[in-house]
Structure 1
Amino acid sequence: MRVVVRGVGVVVDRAIREHAGRRVGSALGRFGPRLGRVTLRLSIDGGSAVPGVRCGVTLGMPDGSVGVEDSGDEAFEAISRAVDRAGRALGREVDRRRAAI
């Protein structure tokens, strides 16, 4: 599984990339063979009264993709929340596909 971190208006430094890699490994490691690429997009969350960071996660699989978003006061929090949400969403998707067989 390859992890790609991109920032739009947010500086993505080494600490953020390492945090993202650890969180993805922890939350999504069990799905490793099913995932080809995990893309995280960080941007400024301008839609709320209190500015924060929004993190979108796209999980690329051979037969489709799963995408989620979440936000937090800082990049580390946004990444943690979004990756946890992505893990739950991917678990539901895997269960749905198993039930369809």
Structure 2
Amino acid sequence: MVMDVVDVKRIAHLSRILIEEEDIPLLLSRFNQTLSVLNKISEVNVDGVEPMTSVLPMKMVLRPDIVCDGGKVDSILSNAPHVENNFFLVPKIVE
């Protein structure tokens, strides 16, 4: 895949980035260099290679998924100006 000026302008628009016209050729060159490297990487044969999450062998430590209040309800609510039934009480702003 090779990018052109229209692609660079579209990416800039979607990213909400203002790019000066004189900067477009440099960006176009850099985008195309990056895409060239990515195309080379995509040519690598990875058949038989196991997917991995880290370069180091690590075992996931699992813990039980237990819902709790964290034991800090009182200290958290102590910062609120108004509390009711262990909830922050805020003024109604929508009718």
User: TM-score by structure 2 length?
Assistant: 0.31
Larger RCO, structure (CA 8 Å, separation 6 or more) = 1
Higher Rg of the two aligned structures: 2
Instruction: Name whichever structure is richer in helix by fraction.
Output: 1
User: TM-score by structure 1 length?
Assistant: 0.30
